[in-house]
């Protein structure tokens, strides 16, 4: 029996002017599943992630979240969805430099109207899960790259989204910090049954996922499918 997908896309295409970024991409993400999107630089990974997260609209094709096509959402409902159901982390965590780690993580809850004490208690629990509670008073500039990304993940998860989208979240980290960040991410999202869509070009990172979806020049290929032949790759 197969679980219905939480997030799926079919036939996505998108071009930037004359540059095609996606040329027919499909993907399926089930609740709680960790999917790695891999592929060379320029293969369309970030564009796909942005389309799935409702940050960008595809030219053609459909992204469906919890049974409803995203193109039916107006901007207001889309931003509501992004705030409540989705969490996003990029290569550089985009933490607010003036705020402590604790306040960065508490912020989404404060914006959602949660009282400060409750928001901070939740934020503390998430910092603890990611092993950075000891850094709670530090501003991003005073933390290591790995600590910063763990705080960014804590901030993405504090609202308990159904899906976390991460674009090369460990791209700027050494391999030890990468392992630590990914191990915390896997542990935390298993516990909360949060799905993860993680973009990476590194095999070490993709190895943490339940499944890998490979992009080649803007098209998807299942990594478990037959290897791509040179003629196919250059077509
Ligand atoms: P990846 O994340 O796998 O490196 P991207 O989705 O960033 O791939 O890019 C896919 C293709 O689209 C590349 O050819 C890239 O140069 C192009 N592209 C991406 N973003 C833009 C943009 N904002 N303007 C023009 N071209 C872009
Ligand atoms: Mg990219």
CA of 176 to the centre of ligand 1 (A): 29
CB of residue 43 inside a 6 A radius of ligand 1: yes
pLDDT digit string, tens, across residues 35-66? 999 999 999 999 999 999 999 999 999 999 99
Task: Render the chain in DSSP notation, one character per residue.
Answer: -PPPPSEEEEEEEEEETTEEEEEEEEEEE-TT-EEEEE--TTSSHHHHHHHHTTSS--SEEEEEETTEEGGGS-HHHHHHHHHHTEEEE-SS----TTS-HHHHHHHHHHHTT--HHHHHHHHHHHHHHTT-GGGTT--GGGS-HHHHHHHHHHHHHTT--SEEEEESTTTTS-HHHHHHHHHHHHHHHHHHT-EEEEEES-HHHHTTSSEEEEEETTEEEETTSPPPPHHHHH-
CB of residue 229 inside a 6 A radius of ligand 1: no
Query: Is pLDDT of 102 > 60?
Result: yes
Atom of ligand 1 nearest to the CA of 215: 3
CB of residue 44 inside a 6 A radius of ligand 1: yes
CB of residue 39 inside a 6 A radius of ligand 1: yes
- Residue with more model confidence, 34 or 229: 34
pLDDT digit string, tens, across residues 213-229? 999 999 986 544 444 44
Could you tell me the pTM of the whole model? 0.90
Mean pLDDT, to the nearest integer, of 90-106? 92
CA of 7 to the centre of ligand 1 (A): 22
Show me where the domains of the chain are located. Answer: 7-228
Q: CATH says 7-228 is which class? A: alpha beta
With cut-offs at 50, 70 and 90, classify the pLDDT of residue 2.
Answer: low
pLDDT digit string, tens, across residues 105-146? 999 999 999 999 999 999 999 999 999 999 999 999 999 999
Residues whose beta carbons lie less than 5 angstroms from ion ligand 2: 45-46
Atom of ligand 1 nearest to the CA of 49: 6
pLDDT at position 43, please? 96
Atom of ligand 1 nearest to the CA of 40: 3
pLDDT at position 226, please? 45
CB of residue 37 inside a 6 A radius of ligand 1: no
pLDDT at position 222, please? 52
Percent of all residues in the chain with a pLDDT value above 90, rounded to a whole number: 86
Query: Is pLDDT of 70 > 60?
Result: yes
């Amino acid at each position: 029996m197969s679980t219905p997908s939480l997030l799926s896309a079919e036939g996505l295409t998108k071009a930037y002017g004359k540059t095609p970024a996606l040329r027919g991409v499909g993907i399926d993400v089930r609740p709680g599943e960790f999917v790695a999107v891999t592929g060379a630089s320029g293969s369309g990974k970030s564009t796909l992630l942005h389309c799935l997260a409702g940050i960008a609209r595809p030219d053609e094709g459909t992204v469906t979240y919890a049974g409803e096509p995203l193109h039916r959402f107006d901007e207001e409902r889309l931003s509501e969805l992004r705030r409540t159901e989705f969490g996003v982390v990029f290569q550089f965590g985009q933490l607010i430099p003036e705020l402590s780690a604790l306040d960065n993580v508490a912020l989404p809850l404060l914006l959602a109207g949660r009282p400060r004490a409750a928001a901070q208690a939740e934020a503390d629990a998430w910092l603890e899960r990611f092993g950075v509670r000891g850094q709670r008073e530090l501003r991003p500039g005073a933390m290591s790259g790995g600590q910063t990304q763990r705080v960014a993940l804590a901030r993405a998860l504090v609202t308990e989204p159904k899906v976390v989208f991460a674009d090369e979240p460990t791209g700027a980290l050494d391999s030890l910090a990468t392992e630590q960040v990914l191990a915390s991410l896997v542990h935390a999202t298993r516990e909360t049954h949060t799905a993860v869509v993680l973009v990476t070009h590194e095999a070490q990172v993709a190895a943490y996922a339940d499944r890998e979806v490979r992009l080649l020049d803007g098209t998807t290929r299942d990594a478990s499918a037959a290897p791509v032949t040179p003629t196919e790759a250059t077509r």
